[in-house]
Structure 1
Amino acid sequence: MKTQISSNKSILITGGGGDWAQSFANEFRDVFDITLVSRKQLDVTQDSDVANYFEGKQFDVVINNAGCIHPNRLLDSDSAEWIQDISVNLIGTYLVSKYALKNNQKTLIINIASTAGFNAYKDWSSYCSSKAGVITLSKSMANDGFEVICMAPGAIETKFRDKFNIPNNNIMTCSEFSKHVVDVLAGKYQSGDVLFIRKNEFVLNP
């Protein structure tokens, strides 16, 4: 894949143990300086852990990819599930962005939300709420003067999605989603833009 972006750009991707992050790193290892951090390496929900991780580190790009989901009917859910989804998906995005920008205010932040942040999917109330928060957080960060793009993908072909029985014709491959990420890295969009992305659908700032 050809890009118009400079090589050796340093990129941090949280949720680094996931299939998309691994795929992106494998595909672009010769283009970018990519650092993957998994849940075992960095607990994005803990202020002190994130602060310690970023001490002395600067990145050109930070991709907030760490996420979790607890599908459940509202009346069958419990507060622990809600707290974990909000903590990882929303507070984790806030903490990683905060400490990355403290060290380098020119860092490009790419927040991975979801189409679920726009669509009220049945039995996904905690996940939908957390991803809607990521979208508005991204817009607020951009209004504060930081360079932030929010990507809201639909289903991607990963183990994370396997258990949800999503029709194959609605699932993007990791490589298909990576093409959109590369467009962001190439400067195709403006800070504050939100990209609604499904396999056969793309909407800028829905």
Structure 2
Amino acid sequence: MRQVLITGGGSGIGRATARAFSDAGDAVTITGRREEALRETDGGRGMTCVTGDVTNEADVAAWFAQPFDVVIANAGAGTPTKLRDMSLEQWNDTLSVNLTGTFLTFRAAVQEMQTGGRLIAIASTASLQGGPNISAYVAAKHGVLGLVRALAQEVARSGITCNAVCPGFVDTDMGAAAVDAVSKRFSISADDAEARIVSGNPMRRMIRTEEVVAAVQFLASEGASMVNGHALSVSGGEI
């Protein structure tokens, strides 16, 4: 039975990923700031739910009292803001949760990870391209991918892999918030806002969480043992 840790397990991609690994028979630990949300993710499956902040060094270190076979750095957030209107606090907060949180998670993970271990970051198509009004998020996610590529080379000879999954807009609460923001900004309907958001995706729809989960499960599998330092785009051909 593999030991799997997933940050940001209280909602969205983290929740779907945690349930999929647990249902497959893995021992899953999920972390997040809200215990109630973590318990909802568990839904009686027997996951270990640990509260804490991915940006807090002591909290992250405490999660790794035992080694894990698969570590998924999923926690992340972003708020659309034009660069000219962005405060230093907004900039620092975005980099902290997305980039520093991934750094702290992976740094703790590699201390005791054994041969065959899997490090997986939930990045974004924003790791691979720019976009208006999300400069801090783009910068942070580009940083995540750079971290993944560098760490992949550090751990390769230990038989560990480090990869990133880069989804476009996913049908989650975060995706819904993006739709709402576009709807309000342009005074258009939610349907028109969603169509505008997914216009860069040749399939013209939101990505389902299970489609992202499938990519994560592949990278965590034995069959992906020679996939290392890779950015796996789940975007319908956008990237």
TM-score range, shorter chain: 0.7 to 0.9
- Indicate whether 1:77 and 2:109 are aligned: no
SS in 2 for 1:99: helix
Higher helix share: 2
Q: Is the 8 A contact 2:9 2:18 kept in 1?
A: no
Give yes or no for the alignment of 1:201 onto 2:237. Answer: yes
Q: Matches of 1:112 and 1:135 in 2, distance apart?
A: 9
Give 1:191 deviation, angstroms. Answer: 1.3
Cα separation, 1, equivalents of 2:217 and 2:80: 30
Which runs of at least 4 in structure 1 moved beyond 6 Å after TM superposition? none
1:182 aligns with 2:217: yes
- Say yes or no: does 1:144 pair with 2:158: no
Worse-matched range after superposition: 23-32 or 92-101: 23-32
Q: Is the 8 A contact 2:13 2:74 kept in 1?
A: no
User: Where does 1:18-167 land on structure 2 (aligned, <5 Å)?
Assistant: 18-31=11-24, 32-40=26-34, 41-54=51-64, 56-106=65-115, 107-146=117-156, 147-165=161-179, 166-167=194-195
SS at match of 2:213: helix
Matched residues in 2 for 1:73 and 1:30: separation? Answer: 41
CA RMSD of aligned residues (A): 1.7
Match of residue 4 from structure 1: none
Distance in 1, Cα, partners of 2:127 & 2:205: 17
Cα deviation, residue 202, structure 1: 7.9
Does the CA-based 8 Å contact 1:10-1:34 persist in structure 2?
A: yes
Describe the shift of the 1:25–1:49 C-alpha distance in structure 2 as closer, same or farther (beyond 3 A): closer
1:169-190 Cα offsets, whole Å, 9 max, x none, are: 3311111111111211223351
**AA matched with 1:67:** G
Show CA shifts across 1:114-156 (max 9, x none). Answer: 1012221110000000000000100000111242011111111
- Number of aligned positions between the proteins: 194
Q: In the aligned structure 1, how far is the partner of 2:53 from the partner of 2:3?
A: 21
Counterparts of 2:128 and 2:147, CA distance in 1: 14
Partner of 1:144, secondary structure, is: helix
Contact between 2:121 and 2:165, CA under 8 Å: does it hold in 1? yes
Report the residue type matching 1:101 in the other structure.
V
CA contact (8 A) 1:195 1:202 kept: no
Larger Rg: 2
Instruction: Give the alignment's TM-score, normalised by structure 2.
Output: 0.76
Structure 1 contact 13–65 (Cα < 8 Å) conserved: yes
Cα distance, 1:30 vs structure 2? 2.9
Segments of structure 1 that go 5 or more residues without pairing to the other structure are 1-7
TM-score normalized by the length of structure 1: 0.87
Asked if the contact 2:14–2:75 (Cα under 8 Å) also holds between the matched residues in 1, the reply is no
Report the identity percentage: 31
